[in-house]
Amino acid sequence: MTAESTTSAATAETIRHELLGFLAERIKTTVEPEQDLFSSGLVSSMFAMQLVVHLEEAYDIAIVGPDLKLDSFRTVESMTALVLRLKDADDPAGDA
């Protein structure tokens, strides 16, 4: 599992790399870091939820409330930024 090894020292580079790999494996398409996954129809409704749970599991974060906005998930870049921000936050899991 690629995600496990990135947990301790996740950088933008490793997260981006891992996410691109996860997407390639799950949706069988190579995507670009800036590609809009939602408007291009690449993300099925099932996969939208898998993506959230995957990020939470792989990076030990809780994505809830206002962090679950569409804009946070549109591209690999925006998801990478979300993960980095939540990992850095003092209270990443909120009170969920």
Return the range that interacts with other proteins (CB under 8 A); candidates 4-12, 13-21, 42-50, 80-88. 42-50
Cα separations in angstroms, 54 against 28, 35, 58, 95: 17, 19, 6, 20
Interface with other proteins (CB under 8 A), residue from 10, 23, 43, 83: 43
56 contacts 63 by C-beta, under 8 angstroms: yes
The answer to whether 96 contacts other proteins (rule: CB under 8 A) is yes
The answer to whether 46 contacts other proteins (rule: CB under 8 A) is yes
86 contacts 63 by C-beta, under 8 angstroms: yes
The answer to whether 49 contacts other proteins (rule: CB under 8 A) is yes
Which tokens sit at 33?
């870091």
The CB-of-13 to other proteins minimum distance in angstroms stands at 22
Interface with other proteins (CB under 8 A), residue from 11, 57, 89, 93: 57
Task: Report the b/e string of 44-54 with b at 16+ CB within 10 A.
Answer: eeeeeeebbeb
Residues that bind other proteins (CB under 8 A): 26-28, 38, 43-46, 48-54, 56-57, 64-66, 68-71, 73, 94-96
